[in-house]
Homo-oligomer: A and B are copies of this chain.
Amino acid sequence: MNTIIQQKFAVPYQYPVCFSEAIFETSNEQFVGLLGKDRLSKILFVVDEGVAKEHPLLLDQIQAYSRAFSDRFILASDPIVVPGGEASKNDEAIYKQIVEATHLYGIDRHSYIAVIGGGAVIDMAGFAAAISHRGIRLIRIPTTVLSQNDSAVGVKNSVNAYGKKNYLGTFTPPYAVLNDFNFLKTLDDRDWRSGISEAIKVALIKDLSFFTWMEGHATALAAREMEPMKSLIIRCAQMHLDHIAGKDPFEFGSSRPLDFGHWAAHKLEHLSKFRIRHGEAVAIGIVLDSTYSFLKGWISEEDLSRIVRLFKQLGFSLFAPELAGENLIKGLQEFQEHLGGQLTIMLLAQLGQGEEVHEMDHQLIYQAVDMLKDFQEKSTLVNS
């Protein structure tokens, strides 16, 4: 006697992704407008140490903002300040500190964690929020180009474990995302630049016109002009959001088109012990897989030159000593293991259109690495 009941349902999600400036000026009601109105909200703030240092008035502003809207929310405690960057994801004591704070300060499932920082801190605090009470509402306030246009608009969170990036995590959409462009002004040049590689990535696999737009604004972007950067971030965020909503938001399949260039990037970050930042590694990974696409005969020499030229105009390095040797290739297997199932790698069928493959030729990868070294060393480009 075998009885089978098929369970079937869908879980609906929605959240706003807002773009604003000076969000903790009391004249700006966007933050407080995100909160539920059925009761006095309780909020636990988590702040990236690097952001707190660059914005020495931030913690006081948050206190003043909470006093101005004391009829709408209270602070659960003083903001918790955590180390920035991968350090926040490497040490489990840090996410546990946030989990413990939810216990100590009675943060329930209808209360909020508001996290201000770069992508790593947002990943880490998001994991703490996702597993406490099976999910506390998370308001993400990303402060870097990379997190504003990519990581913080999506549905993932994570910490690192066993030397593997993002080994622990969940798929949990945020309650809201609130981008404040003012945070970008204090980024160092490397972080300003880094996030642009995710925009180039999404343009290359989905939208040639966006790529062409970036070529036209490369000089302005490199010169840190704000207006083109705002446009770039909003457009890039929109494309990521559309992709996530499109199909398989929680990645039940093996395909992950938005990870163009990322198999090598993840490995490179680890091999360099995170000397190379994520966006910098993604730039190298994109150029590597674009070069591989060229060597496969899929894109033309001129197409490849356009890609290399854009990255160089923006100031990216296209080579790192860690690319040499056999270690890089191990990144392919690790990428497969993380996603599960069949190896699936995005390449370029043409500019603005990705195409997935299920194996890569190691010799061609080595050849592509050699070409990257040339790109880096020569001011002139591909065979010209």
Contact = CB atoms under 8 A, between A and B. Distances in A.
Interface in A150-195: 153, 156, 158, 161-162, 164, 166-173
A321 B85 CA distance: 52
**Chain A interface main SS type:** mixed
A69 interface: no
Contacts of A169: 131, 134
A379 interface: no
Contact of A170 (B4, B30, B170): B170
B338 A108 contact: yes
B109 A241 contact: no
A110 interface: yes
Nearest to A233: B3
Given A19-B3, A99-B168, A131-B170, A11 B8 contact: no
A199 B153 CA distance: 42
Interface in A95-111: 99-100, 103, 106, 108-111
Contacts of A223: none
B340 A5 contact: no
A104 to B, nearest CB: 8
B134 A170 contact: yes
Contacts of A17: 4-7
B13 A249 contact: no
Contacts of A171: 134-135
Given A110-B340, A168-B132, A238 B11 contact: no
A297 interface: no
A15 interface: yes
Interface in A224-258: 234, 237-238, 241, 244-245, 249-251, 254
A113 B280 CA distance: 36
Contact of A10 (B11, B127, B167, B237): B11
Given A38-B342, A131-B168, A103 B161 contact: yes
A290 B161 CA distance: 48
Nearest to A169: B134
Contacts of A161: 99, 103
Interface in A339-356: 339-342
Contact of A337 (B20, B38, B108, B338): B108
Nearest to A177: B7
A341 B9 contact: no
B18 A244 contact: no
Interface in A110-132: 110-111, 127, 130-132
Contacts of A39: 341-342
B134 A100 contact: no
Given A171-B135, A249-B9, A2 B20 contact: yes
A1 interface: yes
A12 interface: yes
Contacts of A315: none
B132 A9 contact: no
Given A2-B19, A4-B17, 19 more contacts: A4-B16, A4-B19, A5-B17, A5-B18, A5-B241, A6-B14, A7-B14, A7-B16, A11-B11, A100-B162, A108-B336, A108-B339, A109-B339, A110-B254, A110-B341, A130-B170, A133-B167, A135-B171, A135-B250
Interface of A: 1-21, 30, 38-39, 99-100, 103, 106, 108-111, 127, 130-135, 153, 156, 158, 161-162, 164, 166-173, 234, 237-238, 241, 244-245, 249-251, 254, 336-342
7 contacts: A1-B20, A5-B238, A9-B244, A108-B339, A110-B340, A132-B167, A134-B156
